[in-house]
Each structure stands twice: as structure tokens, then as C-alpha cells.
Structure 1
Amino acid sequence: MSSSDSDSDLEHLIQLSDWDTNSSDDDSDRQRVSSRIIRRVNYMQTLDDAEFTFRFRLTKPAFQLLLTELIPFVRVTSKKNYGVSPLHQLLLTLRFYALGTMLISVADFVGVSKSTAGRIMRDMSRAIARLYDKYIFVHQEGAENFYRIAGFPRVLGAIDCTHIRIQSSCQTIGEEFRNRKGYFSLNVQAVCDAELMLMNVVARWPGSTHDATIFNNSILRAQCDAGDFGNRWLLGDSAYPNRSYLLTPLLNPVTEAEIRYNESHIKTRNTIERTFGVWKRRFPVVALTLRVSISNVHAIIIATAVLHNMCRNLNLQEIPPEVELPPADNIENSGAQNMVVLDMQHRSDLINNYFTGDRDQSKIGSDLGLWIRY
């Protein structure tokens, strides 16, 4: 093999010994398999920046950063064709996230079988998901940014659920995954900040599960009950019970103060809908129907959430999807209008003390200190 051939083959021979657990095989074994090496294109070299970003949803620098972070979790153990390099494993996985189609469509992309592509996608998705704690966490520094949206004070984050379509898992448990729109899904809960960064993602509940059930059984709810976030509020829709730390809109606002509260609440809470849109447009795999096992669906959802936050951290521009996406589903839970208001005092105090009357500029300034900083 010439040096130019080696360069075009991702230079994977350079680091092969670091990844191959069978590097002690003798020279005859290497000669026997060398004739069957599959030439794999180095898309980092053959595509320009715009084409690479469109195909793989990350810029080249972001891709290199991600690959570096994943190296401790990814290994090449197969001797056949010298295995698939970590670089190509990541390229295949990102291409699957970009297309959201069947695995066979990306298997040929790097010259592997469908079953190998499935294993690569599974292992790489789980490796990316291991970065969850680094990229997805609840912080309390966003209250002022939320306030700038519509004047709503002391907001910790906006919370809602979105449905990720899946293929029916099996006849025995399939129906619990059927949502109110009639298709199979996972109901995924997420919390975002004002910059459309995901702060919490729960991706393990079947599509028939009520939003409030997911929250009530979450670690986030336990943290809120324990007062971990001080006097900050989550903003949720009427599918959630109103609590001292989770404010919902009024179903029938009457007074001007109540109307102002609802308008501000809705505009501020809209950040979570925008976050879902940005996330699904960059990684269409979570907007289309996932035809993989439930455990792999979980990994893909968390992995793409991690990548979404990585893109936001790096200020990457939004890019259009390569495939046509279905219209967004805003599924209202059947019990939303009948949820018990568990804590009215905090919401009433906010409406009566903050949203009543005209607020001039000096009043807004004092409110910012009273209602956001304390």
C-alpha cells in the first residue's frame, strides 16, 4: 500500500495499535487480511466545510472535538479489514442521525454490513450518551435571560414533553407505546434554559404516559421538592400540576393581572417548543420514526440531546434538515384540563404582586432585583 493510499484511508493504520486488542498477531495474519482492506473515504478531506456540516450536522472542528472526547469509550476489536476506525464509526453514526432512515442506508456508507452498522450505531450512541453530565445539567444562571423574553421573573427553566416516533416494539407491549394521536412513541420530558440549551432529559417512558406522571417520577421533581433550586420556578403547561416550584397557566384568566400573567407565561414557556424544533431539525432521526430496539432508541435520544447542547455551546448556526420532516405534533394530554392545582398561593402572590397595574421602567428595574435576584 502506498503512502497516499494510507492517507486516503483515514490514516487509520497510524493509530491501529492503540485500538486493536489483538495487535500481537503475527505478520502472516496481517498479510492474509491486508488484501481485503476496504477503502474508506476520508470525508474530512474530500468535503468542504459547508458540505461536511450539512451531511454530518457538525462542523469539522466540532467533529474533531467530539471524536477526541469519545476516544476513551470507543475501541476497534475486529481484525477483519483492520476494523472500522473510531472516525468512521462516528461518521456513520452522525450520518444515521442526519438521515433518520433504516440502517442499511448508512451501512454502505463505510462499507459494512447492516448488522455491523447497527452495532456501531448502538455503541457510538451509548458512548456519546455518556457525555450527558458534561453537557446537560440544571443551572440557575438563566433567570435574567428568561426575564428579557416577556418579563417573567425567577424562571429556572421551561418544561414540556415531546413524542419521539418509534416502530411498534412487539405485540405484547406495543399498545403502551401508542399515544393519543394513534402512533407509537416515547414521551420524552425535557427542560431548557432561555438559550435553548437542554438542562434535563428523561427518555424512558412509553408514549401513552401522561406528562405529569413522568415529572412526578423524575429525579428533577425530587430535587425541586428538596429545594435544590431555591426560589426558582419551572414553567409548564396545563398538563402539569401547579406547585410552589412549577407554575402553570390559568385556564380561565379574568382580571388584567391574570391575562398579563398568562401572556408572559406562554411567551416564556415557548422556549421549550423552540428547543424541540432546533433539536429535531439538526438531528432528524428524532423527528422521524426510529426503527431500532427500545434500548437503542433511548441511547439515540440522549446522544442527540448531548450533541444539541454541544452545538449550542459552540454557537453553531442552525442548518436545515436534509430530509423532509413531518409536522410537529402538539399532543395535549386528556387530563390536562382537570389537573388539581396543588399550590395556588405562590402563583396568586406572583399575579397580585407582580402582574397587577402598569409597570413603568423604574418599577421594572426594582422588580428585576426583587423577583429575580432574591
Structure 2
Amino acid sequence: MEPELLRTLLMNVTSTSRLAVELFLQLQSDSEESDDAIDSPDACDNTLLVTDMLSTTERRLWARETSTEWWDHIVLQVWDDEQWLQNFRMRKATFMGLCAELAPTLRRKDTRLRAALSVEKRVAIAIWKMATPDSYRSVANQVGVGKSTVGIVLMQVCRAINCILLRRTVTLGNVQDILDGFAQMGFPNCEGAIDGTHIPILAPPHLASEYINQKGYFSVVLQALVDHRGSFIDIYRGWPGKVHDACIFRNSALFRKLQAGTFFPDRKITVGDVEMPIVILGDPAYPLMPWLMKPYTGKLDRSKDRFNYRLSRCRMTVECAFSRLKGLWRCIYGKLDLGDSSIPAVISTCCTLHNICEGKGETFSEEWTSEVQSLEAEFAQPESRATREAQHRASRIRDALREQFEAESQQ
């Protein structure tokens, strides 16, 4: 081989190896055993030898140049609350409060190779990806990071939110306040409305047929119980779209707690001559239980129709909650481009952020609902199916309520 060609090949190999060696040395210096390694004379000699060999090689760029001008100077310094709301679904003060809560988990240290992303930028990347239909590449170019970084940061932020905020945000609030809220809407001793919604996803690599719902697209199901304001009380997510709502419900922790009487406090009222516990409201897909009221089906007389009207009026809270959830976080109304294990975490994060925004009184733009409605033709929700006959005790409670609503209408 020609000496000049050999020299060129060696220089290329040396230049490529330099970055690997530097990264190795960096990781070695950061490890807990680094002190012992440095104390070793042989280790010091080897380190100096490698450094001397590479010191004469010109360093090459290992990452492409990116611009952070948009984030550092436009978003942080120029945008007003309206612009924050349109793009991040929350005002700047709410965003900064969220960052402060997550900072202990998300903060990273600078390394010799690069400066760590700030907590604010990490949260911004995740929220921007969840709130918009933008691709990973588009988000990366906007914020000034690599495309793969967007995916990594998204899951880091989702895990932090689910670890720190989920349990204390998606939870049962003031019981009496919720009871009063549903009573004003026309249904007594009610503490929530339950329903499921299908989240479109890409075709899974395994058991894909299990994820095809009645409408013919791949999905996972989010089951949610909401209060009278549309805030999530309980969520259960991740089941394949082929599975029926009643089956998902029966396998949930919520069902077991309601069946055992441990989810709500023991507050009963008397309707006519029937004792009635705190109830939740569901559609015909759910089983009729003493603590779960659903509509009458089949041939309806006037009193049954009136009962169904009141129940439906209160059940609209969960439908509105899903509509607002999807309007806020557009990622769950396109096809979620994530791995199977990551999808439930992102859905939980969206529900948590929904409750945070509701609690902070963030403005919801009807324009966002219109955007979601334009996609309904492509991802229509499967219709509910009726289940088995109601249990005797539950039927008596429902009939007593129907008779009371009928008597109230006569007054």
C-alpha cells in the first residue's frame, strides 16, 4: 500500500476513535470507581499515552449545529400569555410552576461534551409534542435539538409527571362538592360519570388484530371516571381496542373498589322506599349495579325517557372531558407514534395535564374542539353495546329514581 494512502487511512481511524476514547474517559471519570482508577500508576500512564497520541489530530464536529434562538429569545422573552396558551395549552405562569415541580427529577448536569438541556426546555419539548401534530423532526428543528432527543425527553418528562403529579392530580376531590354539582344537574347522590374512548395508534408489531376496534382502526382504550366539572377522578388505560368496555371495567381497580364499597364514603339516601348508595353513571355498555346507573333500553315510556334524559345530561360531563382532552393534547387524536410500552405513560400524562389546566382555570379555545371534530370522520368512536339484564337490587334503585323524577315533573 502506498505510504500516503496508509497515512490517510490511519488518520481517519484515529480521528474517529478520538471521540470514542474521550467519551470513555468521561464516563470513567464520572463513575464511582474513578478515584481508584486514577490512583493507579498504570491507569495514569495509559490515559496520558492515549491523550498524547490523539492530541495532534484535528478534532471533527460530532453533532450538527442547531439554533436555540426561537426558544431562548422569542418564546421566553417575547411571547405573551395568549401565545403561550395557543402553543403550550397553558399560560407561562402555569408552565413555570409545572417546571418547578418537576425540576428535582428532570434536572441534569453539564458534561465535558455538551451543556445539559434546562428543565424548562425539556418540559417545553414534551408539551409541544403532545399539544401539536408536529413530527419529531419538526419539534427538534423548532427547539434546536436532535430528533432522537425529542423522543427521549418526551418519555423522561412523562415519567416524571406520572411519578410526581399523577396520583395527587387524578384523584377524588371534595365529595360533597361533586354530589352537589350532579344534584344541580338533576341526579341525586351521584359522584361521577364513566365512559371509555379509543385512542388511535399505529399498528402494533405483535397481536395487531387485538387492537382493531369495531370501526376498523388500531386503538387502545382509555377508561375514565370524571366529576361534574369534567376533571378526571380515575383513569385506566392501555387495553386493546378490540376489548369491550364492560370487560375493561370489570378488570379495573375501580370496579373492585366500587364493588367493595371502598372508593366512595358510605353515604346513602332513601328514594321512595329504596336505599341508594353513592352511584356513578354509565352508558348501556356498562353493567347495571346498585352503585352504577345506566339508561333504560328497548321500548321506553314517558317516565323511562325522562330518567334517561337526566342520566344523559349528567353523563355529558365525561364526553365533554374527552373532547377537551383531545382538543388540548392533539397527540392522542392522531395515531400515537410510540412504542407499545410508552403509549399508556403518554395518555396518563395528558390526563394529568388536563386536570392541571382545569384546576388553574386555563382558557379552552373552541377552535381546538373544531380541530378534533374534523378528525372524527376518520377515527369515529365505536358504538356502545348493551350487556346482560340488570340485577334485581339495581333495577329497584333505578325504578325508584324514575318514579321520583316522574313525580317531580308532575309538581
Q: Same fold (TM over 0.5)?
A: yes
Cα displacement string for residues 333-369 of structure 1 (whole angstroms, at most 9, x for unaligned residues): 4xx23x11342423433433553543279x8xxxxxx
**1:61-140 counterparts in 2 under 5 A?**
61-77=93-109, 79=111, 80-130=113-163, 131-139=165-173, 140=175
Following superposition, the deviation at residue 321 of structure 1 comes to 3.0
1:306 aligned onto 2:352: yes
Cα deviation, residue 144, structure 1: 1.4
Post-superposition Cα deviations, 1:280-334, rounded to whole Å, max 9, x if no partner, equal: 111111111111112221111111100100011111110233994312733124x
Does the aligned pair in 1 maintain the 2:327–2:368 contact within 8 Å? Answer: yes
Residue 17 of structure 1 aligns with which residue? Answer: none
Which amino acid letter does the alignment assign opposite residue 116 of structure 1?
Answer: T
- The one-letter code sitting in structure 2 at the alignment partner of 1:321 is W
Amino acid at match of 1:352: A
Query: What residue is the counterpart of 1:352 in the other structure?
Result: 400
After superposition, the C-alpha distances for 1:230-289 in whole angstroms (9 at most, x for unaligned) are 321111111111111111111025333222111111111111100101111111111111
Is 1:249 aligned with 2:295? yes
Q: Which amino acid aligns with 1:263?
A: Y
Q: Taking structure 1 as reference, are residues 256 and 75 closer, same or farther at Cα in structure 2, changes over 3 Å only? A: same
Q: Residue 256 of structure 1 aligns to which amino acid in structure 2?
A: R
**Distance in 2 of aligned mates of 1:196 and 1:94:** 21
Q: Structure 1 residues 180, 324: closer, same or farther in 2, change over 3 A?
A: same
| Per-residue deviation, 1:183 | 0.7
2:236 and 2:153 map into 1 onto residues whose CA distance is 24
Equivalent position amino acid for 1:208 in 2 = K
- The whole-number CA distance in structure 2 between the counterparts of 1:250 and 1:83 is 59
Q: How much does 1:177 deviate?
A: 1.1
1:183 to 199, 203, 217: 217
More helix by percentage: 2
The answer (yes or no) to whether the contact 2:293–2:398 under 8 Å persists in 1 is no
Task: Spell out the pairing of 1:136-175 with structure 2 (5 A cutoff).
Answer: 136-139=170-173, 140-141=175-176, 142-149=178-185, 151-170=186-205, 172-175=206-209
Q: 1:356 to 1:137 in 2, by over 3 A?
A: closer
Give the partner amino acid of 2:368.
P
Structure 1 gaps of 5+ residues are 1-20, 25-31, 364-374
For 2:250, give the aligned amino acid.
Answer: N
Give the whole-Å Cα distance in 2 for the aligned partners of 1:253 and 1:352.
18
Is 1:46 equivalent to 2:78 in the alignment?
Answer: yes
Structure 1 segments, 4+ long, off by >4 Å, are: none
> Structure 2 length normalisation: TM-score?
0.74
Q: Summarize the Cα distance change of 1:200–1:87 in structure 2 as closer, same or farther, 3 Å threshold.
A: same
Kept after mapping to 2: 8 A contact 1:93/1:124: yes
Q: Which structure 2 residue ranges, 5 or more long, are not aligned? A: 1-29, 35-60, 267-276
**Residue identity opposite 2:93 in structure 1:** P
Instruction: Provide Cα deviations, 1:56-109, integer angstroms capped at 9, x if missing partner.
Output: 111111101100111122132562430211110111111111213321121112
Evaluate the alpha carbon distance shift between residue 260 and residue 219 of structure 1 in structure 2; reply closer, same or farther with a 3 A threshold.
Answer: same
1:315 alignment partner, SS class: coil
Stretch moving more, 117-126 or 255-264: 255-264
52 and 128 in structure 1: CA distance in 2 versus 1, 3 angstrom threshold: same
Cα distance in 2 between the residues matched to 1:347 and 1:114: 56
Question: Which residue of 229, 232, 244 maps to 1:210?
Answer: 244
Greater Cα radius of gyration, structure 1 or 2: 2
Alignment root-mean-square deviation, CA: 2.6
Alpha-carbon contact 1:37-1:81 (below 8 Å) kept? no
1:321 aligned partner:
368
Could you say which structure has the greater relative contact order, defined with CA pairs below 8 angstroms and 6 or more residues apart? 1
Change (3 A) 1:347 1:138: farther
SS at match of 1:163: strand
SS at 1:243's partner residue?
A: coil
Question: Which of 341, 351, 358 is the matching residue for 1:295?
Answer: 341
TM score, norm. by length of structure 1: 0.81
The separation in 2 between residues aligned to 1:53 and 1:242, in whole angstroms, is: 41
Residue number in structure 1 paired with 2:58? none
* Structure 2 counterpart of 1:330, from 381, 391, 395: 381
Matched AA of 1:157: G
Greater Cα offset, 92-101 or 179-188: 92-101
Q: CA 1:318/1:297 → structure 2, altered by over 3 Å: closer, same or farther? A: same
| Aligned equivalent of 2:319 | 273
Answering whether residue 87 of structure 2 is matched by residue 55 of structure 1, we say yes
